[in-house]
């Protein structure tokens, strides 16, 4: 298990906050999932798809933990310091993640330092903790893993509603609820074990074009380009297709451009640094 790529437990989407007093709550950090393996002073980092990315995050070479070995489940994040309150920035993290040149990576270590936020402990000192309940794994995590540069343990909260309201105020991604009494299930999305509730945004956009090669509608909001809308149900695609000929104003090899008379409501995660709506999905046409 140690220093072997493994697939973590995935989160069950929950449109509403789960109820009950058997949950521990954490912020859902906007980054990428990572499993950090530590053995005899050396760290190796894997994505949830079992790809090793240790060389992308060279700052972790200097981390020393007061344990013989362990596996931490967590999120790799990068803070956006342009805002009044530093918050995780997915765009900045992707800049780090996509860098492959060692010189570029070293430069980005100074410009865009990363942080690994641990929220679970799967293995400790030659012993698997997968069958232990979450409250015990969490206790061991807080006992054995100290906060330090580039690595911290996620704060845990008891009141999910209060935390979610704070997440909305700070425009963060969402919250995660974990059942304190459940074990850890590798490579699965178990029911009623770990939930994610996202802080989605809603907006009305105009459909100003159609991408040709791969389906997508051009979205504009107050005449500002907001990206490509790809997640549209088949019936709505067909209904819109029947009226597009009346709206065409121009065309090139990639797009058919439309008079933006038709509007729809979209749900999205947040705006990227360049103002695009992340993970936008169609909700309904606006009449």
| Range list of β-strands (E), the chain | 12-13, 23-28, 32-39, 42-47, 69-80, 87-88, 114-124, 127-128, 151-153, 174-179, 194-198, 201-211, 217-221, 224-229, 248-251, 255-258, 263-268, 281-286
Of 179, 198, 217, which residue sits at a domain end? 198
Does 7 fall in a domain?
Answer: no
Cβ-Cβ contacts under 8 Å for 58 (sequence gap 6 or more): 105, 106, 109
Determine the straight-line distance between the first and last CA of the chain, rounded to whole angstroms: 56
Note down the domain range covering 217: 201-286
Does 137 fall in a domain?
Answer: yes
> What own/partner pairs with CB < 8 Å and gap ≥ 24 does 232-236 have?
232/281, 232/282, 233/282, 236/282, 236/285
Residue 277 sits in the same domain as residue 221? yes
Report the half-sphere exposure of 24 (CA within 13 A, side-chain side). Answer: 16
* Residue 87 pLDDT: 86
Beta bridge partners of 46: 35, 52
Does 5 fall in a domain?
Answer: no
Domain count, the chain: 2
- CATH number where 168 lies: 3.30.470.30
Does 238 fall in a domain?
Answer: yes
Beta bridge partners of 59: none
Q: Which two tokens stand for residue 227?
A: 């990206």
Give the pLDDT band (50/70/90) at residue 79. confident
* pLDDT tens-digit series, residues 242-274: 999 999 999 999 999 999 999 999 999 999 989
- 8-state DSSP, 224: E
Residue 24 sits in the same domain as residue 88? yes
Helix axes 102-111, 90-98, angle to 10 degrees: 160
Residue 159 sits in the same domain as residue 29? yes
Residue 230 sits in the same domain as residue 254? yes
Write the DSSP assignment of 178-216 as a string of letters.
Answer: EETT----TTS--TTSEEEEE--EEEEEEEEEEESSS--
Distance from CA of residue 168 to its chain's centroid? 16
Mean pLDDT in residue range 142-166: 97
* Residue 287 pLDDT: 86
Residue 105 sits in the same domain as residue 32? yes
Q: Does residue 81 have a pLDDT over 90?
A: no
Q: Does residue 205 have a pLDDT over 80?
A: yes
Does 166 fall in a domain?
Answer: yes
Let me know: does 118 contact 141? Beta carbons within 8 Å: yes
């Amino acid at each position: 298990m140690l220093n072997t790529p493994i697939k973590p437990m995935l989160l069950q989407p929950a449109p509403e906050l789960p109820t009950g007093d058997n949950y521990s709550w954490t912020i859902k950090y906007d980054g990428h999932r990572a499993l950090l393996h530590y053995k005899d002073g050396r760290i190796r980092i894997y994505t949830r798809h079992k790809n090793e990315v240790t060389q992308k995050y060279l700052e972790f070479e200097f981390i020393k933990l007061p344990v013989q070995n362990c596996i931490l489940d967590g999120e790799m994040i990068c803070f956006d310091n342009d805002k009044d309150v530093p918050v995780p920035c997915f765009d900045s993290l992707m800049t780090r993640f996509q860098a492959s040149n060692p010189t570029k990576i070293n430069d980005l270590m100074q410009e865009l330092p990363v942080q690994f936020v641990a929220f679970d402990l799967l293995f400790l000192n030659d012993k698997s903790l997968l069958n232990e309940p979450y409250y015990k794994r969490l206790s061991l995590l807080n006992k054995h893993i100290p906060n330090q540069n580039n690595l911290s343990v996620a704060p845990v909260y008891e009141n999910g509603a209060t935390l979610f309201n704070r997440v909305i105020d700070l425009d963060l991604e969402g919250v995660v609820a974990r059942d304190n009494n459940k074990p850890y299930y590798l490579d699965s999305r178990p029911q009623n074990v770990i939930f994610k509730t996202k802080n989605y945004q809603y907006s009305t956009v105009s459909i100003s074009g159609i991408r040709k090669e791969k389906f997508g509608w051009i979205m504009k909001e107050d005449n500002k380009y907001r990206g490509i809308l790809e997640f549209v149900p088949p019936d709505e695609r067909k209904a819109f297709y029947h009226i597009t000929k009346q709206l065409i104003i121009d065309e090139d090899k990639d797009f058919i451009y439309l008079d933006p008379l038709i509007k729809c409501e979209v749900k999205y995660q947040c705006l990227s640094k360049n103002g695009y709506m992340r993970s936008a999905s169609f909700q309904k046409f606006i009449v």
